[in-house]
């Protein structure tokens, strides 16, 4: 089997409401969709959701990277995923577009094998419970949003915090008071606190039964995060601090977190994600699978990974639920209450896209 054609399209997705985190606020996302064709009639789909703030890439840099990578892929056997990632390493950064190409390649491999991607990668479970994220607002507004989401069937809430330590404590208290004791609450400070603030807040909110705290301090302060972990009664999860397998090794050496959040957009796809999970599992660190602002295309790839690997025990795959627009017309990951599943179909199981939403950019053949 050989790759005969690579196409890239742009799509803009509006959020249901302005989404605010400690790093900034946004109301929409512009993503790239790739389609990879083969000489055996199979087509694979992938998606990139670049972010200057987190993955340090953008639509512009992704397209520059694709100008270099796409011609190299023509004629290559898409099942040679290890070789393809060797080609990827010749282009600096741009993990988001590499993730898009990687998931399209896995889509093709699954179709060729007649297996869903999660069965190719490990097939550990058949469904996974996701949390749902609440952006930063006033304590009262966040409590109201929390009640609405619990009524919709979500049993795990992820609260964005990290703007002001005292207000953050109020936000967490307001949500816990409004949803009662049966709902799991995770918090994500997106690097918003100093080491001292993080230790202080986490000791104050421990009484509200917080499952874990994501990225309390700056991404490049692993030593600081290790100090927070040592003095926090709440487990610490690294997100922005760990992009790829090499970062995971550094984190393990410094014993800086209890959990690592894997995102396809940070690490460059399923292939690297498995390496991160292997390192973490061997070091006794659990994984979460998270997301950026992806549509259901990349979310579907994330659900496949979560279902494949035992070490991914937490799931934060909710961006398609927060988006007002959706590019998948048929197939892909489903949601029932807070349970995500993928179709038992070959590849990613995405049957059709809303083609009229896609803006064609370029084709290589
Ligand atoms: Mg995070």
Kindly list the catalytic residues.
160, 188, 214, 239, 263
CA of 310 to the centre of ligand 1 (A): 21
Interval 264-299: pLDDT, tens? 999 999 999 999 999 999 999 999 999 999 999 999
CA of 51 to the centre of ligand 1 (A): 13
Quick check: 185 pLDDT over 90?
yes
- Is 109 in contact with 39 (CB distance < 8 Å)? no
Quick check: 77 pLDDT over 90?
yes
Question: Number of H helices and number of E strands within the chain?
Answer: 13, 17
**Average pLDDT score over the chain:** 97
Give the per-residue pLDDT at 24.
Answer: 86
Q: What are phi and psi of 133, to 5 degrees?
A: -95, 140
CA of 155 to the centre of ligand 1 (A): 19
Quick check: 19 pLDDT over 90?
no
d(CA 230, CA 314): 22
Q: Which residue's entry shows tokens 């993080």?
A: 198
* pTM assigned to the model: 0.97
d(CA 353, CA 240): 31
How far is residue 164 from each of residues 158, 187, 208, measured CA to CA in Å?
17, 14, 18
d(CA 29, CA 192): 22
Per-residue pLDDT, averaged over 209-226, amounts to: 98
> Quick one: pLDDT band at residue 28, thresholds 50, 70, 90?
very high
> Quick one: pLDDT band at residue 125, thresholds 50, 70, 90?
very high
CA of 186 to the centre of ligand 1 (A): 10
CA of 303 to the centre of ligand 1 (A): 17
H runs (alpha helix) in the chain: 59-73, 81-88, 95-113, 117-121, 139-151, 165-179, 195-205, 222-231, 245-254, 264-267, 270-282, 296-308, 319-322
CA of 43 to the centre of ligand 1 (A): 32
Calculate what percentage of the chain has a pLDDT beyond 90.
96
CA of 159 to the centre of ligand 1 (A): 10
d(CA 28, CA 15): 5
């Amino acid at each position: 089997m050989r790759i005969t054609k690579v196409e890239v399209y742009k799509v803009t997705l509006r959020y249901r409401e302005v989404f605010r985190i400690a790093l900034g606020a946004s109301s929409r996302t512009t993503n790239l969709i790739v389609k990879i064709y083969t000489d055996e009639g199979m087509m694979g789909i992938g998606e990139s959701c670049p972010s200057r703030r987190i993955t340090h890439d953008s639509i512009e840099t992704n397209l520059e990277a694709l100008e270099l990578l796409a011609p190299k892929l023509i004629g290559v056997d898409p099942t040679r995923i290890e070789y393809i990632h060797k080609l990827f390493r010749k282009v600096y950064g741009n993990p988001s577009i590499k993730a898009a190409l990687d998931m399209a390649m896995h889509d093709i491999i699954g179709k060729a094998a007649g297996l869903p991607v999660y069965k190719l990668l490990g097939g550990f479970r058949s469904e996974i419970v996701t949390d749902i994220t609440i952006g930063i607002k006033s304590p009262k507004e966040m409590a109201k949003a929390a009640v609405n989401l619990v009524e919709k069937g979500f049993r795990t809430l992820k609260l964005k915090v990290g703007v002001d330590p005292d207000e953050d404590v109020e936000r967490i208290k307001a949500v816990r008071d409004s949803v009662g004791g049966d709902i799991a609450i995770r918090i994500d400070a997106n690097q918003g606190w100093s080491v001292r603030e993080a230790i202080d807040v986490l000791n104050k909110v421990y009484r509200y039964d917080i499952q874990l705290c994501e990225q309390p301090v700056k991404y490049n302060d692993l030593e600081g995060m290790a100090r927070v972990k040592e003095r926090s009664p709440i487990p610490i999860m690294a997100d922005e601090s760990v992009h790829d397998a090499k970062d995971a090794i550094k984190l393990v050496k410094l014993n800086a977190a209890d959990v690592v959040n894997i995102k396809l957009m940070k690490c460059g796809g399923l292939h690297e994600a498995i390496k991160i999970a292997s390192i973490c599992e061997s070091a006794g660190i659990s994984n979460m699978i998270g997301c950026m602002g992806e549509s259901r295309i990349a979310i579907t790839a994330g659900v496949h990974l979560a279902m494949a690997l035992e070490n991914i025990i937490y799931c934060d795959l909710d961006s398609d639920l927060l988006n007002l627009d959706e590019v998948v017309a048929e197939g892909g990951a489903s949601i029932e209450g807070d349970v995500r599943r993928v179709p038992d179909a070959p590849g990613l199981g995405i049957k059709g896209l809303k083609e009229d939403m896609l803006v064609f950019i370029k084709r290589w053949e």
